[in-house]
Structure 1
């Protein structure tokens, strides 16, 4: 299984992408289980696409910060 992770943001705003092939690894089964669980949708969970000017962020419950929850709730409740 090929797993790729991209991290961006932070203080310097740098992007880092790394890929890992689980073939032949002693921890392959564990990593594959983690990957499969990470990409599973949350049953009955909401998905959000938040656009701020030209910046787009895809979010999914339950992986929201309190700030993201507050922003989403406010826009959905008060926006047009």
Structure 2
């Protein structure tokens, strides 16, 4: 499973994109579980960006979901942290 996260916004207004392939990773099954949850739970309706907050686009094998801080679920936050952290 290919997971790509693009983060925009924040205080500096920059953009960061990272991808990872779960197939050969020891934590692959957990990342795949988190990805499925991220796609199925977009959070509360009526999300509006907050000043200096981050916006995320999570792509999983061609499907995507747009998410906003501070409306992330714990599963979404874990997935985003794992993907962006793997690219650091």
Cα root mean square deviation, aligned? 2.8
Gaps of 5+ in 2: 49-54, 56-65, 73-88
Q: How many equivalent residue pairs?
A: 54
Give matches, 1:49-60, under 5 Å: none
Relative contact order higher in (CA < 8 Å, ≥ 6 apart): 2
Query: What is the SS of the residue equivalent to 1:30?
Result: helix
| TM-score scaled by length of structure 2 | 0.48
Deviations 1:31-64 (A, max 9, x none): 000000110146xx874486xxxxxx8669xx38
Gaps of 5+ in 1: 51-56, 65-80
Structure number with greater Rg is 1
